[in-house]
Amino acid sequence: MKLSVVFACALALGMAGCAPANLYTPAPGQKMPIAATTYQGFKEYQTLIGSTHSGVFVVSEDGRYYDSYWCDDTRCMDDNSIAHKAIEECGKYGSKCYVFASRNSIQVDYEVVP
């Protein structure tokens, strides 16, 4: 289920315009490494978006870098536009990035690593 949502998001990003060149799509069943500092960043992101705001948390393929975008209002950019922007920003660190969470829903299997 989680990976199908990631693939759907990746497909939607491609249909919404050009998919970011640095979009990474985890393989089915692939457990993604997440650095402890990245996971802490995710926890901070969760407190910022609460339960009603749009947002996306993206992580680099190696789990060391992350970025997030969210909307303070309940009406703002759609989730695909937010994901596109976050993936482009995350990619500035020189790595491909993927959607770790859409709103508060984690989209991939992961493992926190030191």
pLDDT per residue as tens, the chain (114 positions): 343 334 344 444 444 456 677 788 888 889 999 999 999 999 999 998 887 788 899 999 999 999 988 877 656 666 677 788 888 888 887 789 999 999 889 999 999 998
What local confidence, expressed as pLDDT, does residue 100 receive?
Answer: 95
What local confidence, expressed as pLDDT, does residue 44 receive?
Answer: 95
Query: Domain locations in the chain?
Result: 2-113
What local confidence, expressed as pLDDT, does residue 78 receive?
Answer: 67
Query: pTM for this structure?
Result: 0.76
CB atoms inside a 10 Å sphere around CB 74: 8
